[in-house]
Amino acid sequence: MKISVFGTGYVGLATGVCFADMGYTVVCLDIDPEKVNKLNLGIPTIFEPGLEELLKRNLAAERLSFTTDYKKAVDASDILFIAVGTPSDENGSANLSYVVSAAESIGQFMTSKKTIMTKSTVPVGTNFLIKKTISETLKKRNAQIEFDIVSNPEFLREGTAIQDCLNPDRIVVGVEHERAAKVIRRLYEPFIKNGAKMIEMDISSAEVTKYAANAFLATKISIMNEFSRLCDKVGANIENVRIGLSADHRIGPHFIYAGVGYGGSCFPKDVKALIHTGQTHDEQLHILEAVEKTNQYQRQRFVERILSRIGKTGQGKKVAVWGVAFKPGTDDIRESPSLYAIEKFVEAGYTVEAYDPVAAENARVSLNSKQVTFKSSQDEVLNDADVLCIFTEWKSFLQPDFPKLKKLMKKPIVFDGRNIYDPEFIKETGIEYHSIGRPSIGAP
């Protein structure tokens, strides 16, 4: 079986290298020639642990190649994965223009039977839109070629994308016919042998399952963030509450950490898109509206707390920032709470010096501000800083040299948006420490 993957972002690239590593011949296509050139040279275009090794190994084995040539990629394989982006539109709906454009190109170049699998996260009904788009494009060419559509939502997590792709806990497939299901079972056989569970269903349910999974996880985060604000007000400690909750097996230990709010390219846009889907079907999704609102409020309130401590105007003052990636293990800065906060510090007149081990370049390009400088070490940004704000729980931030930190900073004030330090320990350092949903230490 040969596979072509359309879109070489976090999902398409991980999918391409992992299927190639399982022995399949894979052609990956992207419309961005710069990405394709780099990837053909074995240079990863994103930071993802394990990616470079798989990329180089499978290029060398000639099982993997990258192209911008749609005809070549469509011709090469019977199985075509659509893995292009579905960013948020102004009104919160998923922008399907990349998906539709990929479908049109497939319809334009198809000359034999194909199974078209959509990995992009798409609102319910989109796989049928893909079917319609391909059918209409074929009709314009007077071509009669059979094809099947399959919804195959992706559940990988950035930072562990390769591991997740190689060892998925479940493979959700939405199909119209047994014929397509049979092809998919064969395609995923190596993964199923490795222990992955394949769950087959109808196409609409598969589309909803993906959004429901992200919305559910976002809800867990937002409710903990809401509890953290209550803890702040009543003098309780959200970490104790979390430990108490996690012991309940019905709740479990995952996704119940309070913090500065979720970011990334999935939760924010997928929650918004699901709310929008509800609206278009005259069904208001009250909980998700609250989840989204709480998430926005969490980052806003964190910044308000910082500014009310260090001053609403920042002329001549400096904020040190640790972490711009939306979470550790990735260079993805999309919807990162850190970027929101940096923009607010800049607006207030502060100079910002930031450090991130892998996402600095993406953030520098995105922020493009003279008031923000990226440094190459986490200590460097501390020099003469009026405050240190932590947004990403990178490992190197977990055990810093506190005496050194105190000596380097103008004022040793730390705002920790990820609750990475033990307040009891911080007490001994003489550092003023503020976190989320826990009593502050050493505050005036």
Active-site residues, by number, are 266
Are the C-beta atoms of residues 151 and 173 closer than 8 Å to each other?
yes
CB-wise, 85 or 423, nearer to ligand NAD? 85
Q: Which residue is nearest to ligand NAD (CB)?
A: 9
Shortest approach of ligand NAD to residue 322 CB, angstroms? Answer: 23
Shortest approach of ligand NAD to residue 254 CB, angstroms? Answer: 17
CB-wise, 214 or 225, nearer to ligand NAD? 214
Shortest approach of ligand NAD to residue 100 CB, angstroms? Answer: 9
Strand partners, 319: 352, 387
Closest-CA residue to 415 (of 432, 396, 392, 439) = 432
CB-wise, 13 or 303, nearer to ligand NAD? 13
Shortest approach of ligand NAD to residue 165 CB, angstroms? Answer: 10
Place of tokens 């798989």: 54
User: Which residues of this chain interact with ligand NAD, rule CB under 6 A?
Assistant: 6-12, 29-32, 35, 83-86, 98, 101-102, 119-121, 154, 156, 158, 265-266
Q: How far apart are CA 428 and CA 420, in angstroms?
A: 16
Are the C-beta atoms of residues 352 and 384 closer than 8 Å to each other?
no
* 97-130: b (≥16 Cβ within 10 Å) or e: ebbbebbbbbbbbbeeebbbbbbbbbbbebbebb
CB-wise, 362 or 435, nearer to ligand NAD? 362
Q: How far apart are CA 69 and CA 29, in angstroms?
A: 7
Shortest approach of ligand NAD to residue 264 CB, angstroms? Answer: 7
Q: DSSP per residue over 97-138, as a string?
A: HHHHHHHHHHHHH--S-EEEEE-S---TTHHHHHHHHHHHHH
Q: How far apart are CA 345 and CA 349, in angstroms?
A: 6
Shortest approach of ligand NAD to residue 207 CB, angstroms? Answer: 11
CB-wise, 132 or 186, nearer to ligand NAD? 132
CB-wise, 95 or 300, nearer to ligand NAD? 95
Burial class (CB in 10 A: 0-12, 13-18, 19+), 92: middle
Are the C-beta atoms of residues 418 and 260 closer than 8 Å to each other?
yes
Q: How far apart are CA 118 and CA 130, in angstroms?
A: 9
